[in-house]
Structure 1
């Protein structure tokens, strides 16, 4: 990362404390701005309505560089990456703890994309 560059790391959440298991089902995003390894700002953003392509556009519009989540559909992953973003899957638990692991360079994506059944509103992501 270049000096003086702000890295924006976003976490989908419902309670603003823990990572939401599925990216597309969250109510909010906690977004940390990080400069030279230090957290310089924390924002809580209301998530947009869940519809195809809306969340990746929201990520790009809010200049979020990295999304750390439990699971995400392959289309959303592809759209975020196409906009220059990074996706880390398989995260669970306390957002602040996960952010600290990420900033230490020890967090790696360990999940796989969720298979969606587009007409099933009760979709559960199995990993």
Structure 2
């Protein structure tokens, strides 16, 4: 099982990870989406989200832009981070990841 967290703004991938309105938490099994939930993160505080998402069982993060310090903190929680994803619906991003067709690129965050 893989469990993805995708930061959202107005229902689509948020370009700034730490300031999203919600997270889509999407569970997969055998290459298929099995569960989708929306959760509201706690107020933004540097370094908080990696631990919080780890407590939710997240194994993967798909982001547009995310700071290097946050990436390092996620790696410390054994959470794989993919950056530079395009602003799509969360289920579409996970489907793309599962089929190795997720387009990722430069990290949109420079701090």
Length-normalised TM-score, structure 1: 0.79
Aligned match of 1:3: none
**8 Å CA contact retained: 2:64, 2:108:** no
Report which of the two structures shows the higher radius of gyration computed on alpha carbons.
1
- The two structures, once aligned, show a CA RMSD in angstroms of 1.5
* 1:65 aligns to 2:59 (yes or no): yes
Secondary structure in 1 aligned to 2:105? coil
CA distance in 2, matches of 1:75, 1:113: 14
CA distance in 1, matches of 2:91, 2:69: 27
**What is the CA-CA distance between 1:8 and the residue it aligns to?**
0.2
Q: Give the strand-richer structure, 1 or 2.
A: 2
Unaligned runs of 5+ in 1: 1-5, 117-127
Q: 1:28 aligns with which of 11, 22, 33?
A: 22
4+ runs deviating over 4 angstroms: none
Who is 1:14 aligned against?
Answer: 9
Unaligned runs of 5+ in 2: none
How many residues of Structure 1 are paired with residues of Structure 2 in the alignment? 110
- Matched with 2:110 is 115
> Hey, what does 1:45 align to over in structure 2?
39
Instruction: State TM-score, norm by structure 2.
Output: 0.90
